[in-house]
Amino acid sequence: MARKTVKYTGRLGKPMLRSELDAVSAAALTPARGLGAHDAAIAKWLANREHALLLELLTYYNIAPDDNLKWFQLAQKLASAHVPAFRFASRVGRPRKIKKAQSLADILDSIQPKPKGKLGRKQKYTEGHYRQLLKSVREVCLAEGFKGHGAVTKALTKLISDDARRNGLSVSQEIRKTLNFFRRRYSEAKKKFPELA
């Protein structure tokens, strides 16, 4: 189970600096007072500092400092923040809601249909682009319930139209312009990674 990390703010989020203790130690160490008084002064400083931090911790967890059960409530809050047995397990298994597929711009980054007039130049498609295209088409098919012969075309059409709407372009024009291009890329991806199709 993943461990929950609590991020404290202010003084609670910073560890005690050794220089603070050294300054108190130097102030408390005088030949007239002796070593016993020096140790007592450091212990008193530490106790006062920790008491102030505990009061800040109570405030952090919205516990009233004058509440009779404040220390018990604080122990409960700290246990639920740091001890896994005090928390409910996160849901195991497939998520209930399938995440939305990424836009085509995210899937194929800079890959666009080859502009006319530049013959002989083949664009390179990385394995990551192919894998992402297969994954996104599969996610759309699952989310929309597309099955059978035309499922891939329907999924690509949905991805293209969603991307066109997001970018304020004409949906029908984008489908006409890019559907065949992405169908070919999908076929290439399927040949390269048949296990992902």
Same domain, 118 and 78: no
In a domain, 79, yes or no: yes
Please identify which residue in the block is written with the tokens 């047995």: 85
Please give the residue range of the domain that contains residue 112.
Answer: 104-192
Same domain, 60 and 28: yes
Same domain, 113 and 158: yes
Ramachandran region, residue 50 (left: φ > 0; alpha: ψ -120 to 50; beta: rest): alpha
Interatomic CA distance for residues 96 and 74, integer angstroms: 35
pLDDT band at 1 (very low <50, low <70, confident <90, very high): very low
Query: Residue 28: pLDDT above 80?
Result: no
In a domain, 180, yes or no: yes
In a domain, 95, yes or no: no
Same domain, 112 and 153: yes
Q: What is the amino acid identity at position 91?
A: R
Q: Out of 4-8, 55-59, 112-116, 134-138, which region has the weakest mean confidence (pLDDT)?
A: 112-116
Looking at residue 90, what is its pLDDT?
Answer: 67
Q: What is the amino acid identity at position 123?
A: Q
Q: What is the amino acid identity at position 104?
A: L
Looking at residue 110, what is its pLDDT?
Answer: 45
Query: 107: burial class by Cβ within 10 Å (0-12, 13-18, 19+)?
Result: buried
Same domain, 19 and 81: yes
Interatomic CA distance for residues 179 and 79, integer angstroms: 55
In a domain, 98, yes or no: no
Same domain, 47 and 118: no
Interatomic CA distance for residues 150 and 147, integer angstroms: 7
CA 115, distance to chain mean position in Å, is 37
Tell me how many domains the chain contains. Answer: 2
Looking at residue 103, what is its pLDDT?
Answer: 59
Query: Residue 117: pLDDT above 60?
Result: no
Please identify which residue in the block is written with the tokens 């160490």: 29
pLDDT, mean of residues 94-116:
54
CA distances from 151 to 70, 134, 163, 174, 188 (A): 60, 13, 18, 19, 17
Per the prediction, the chain carries an average pLDDT of 77
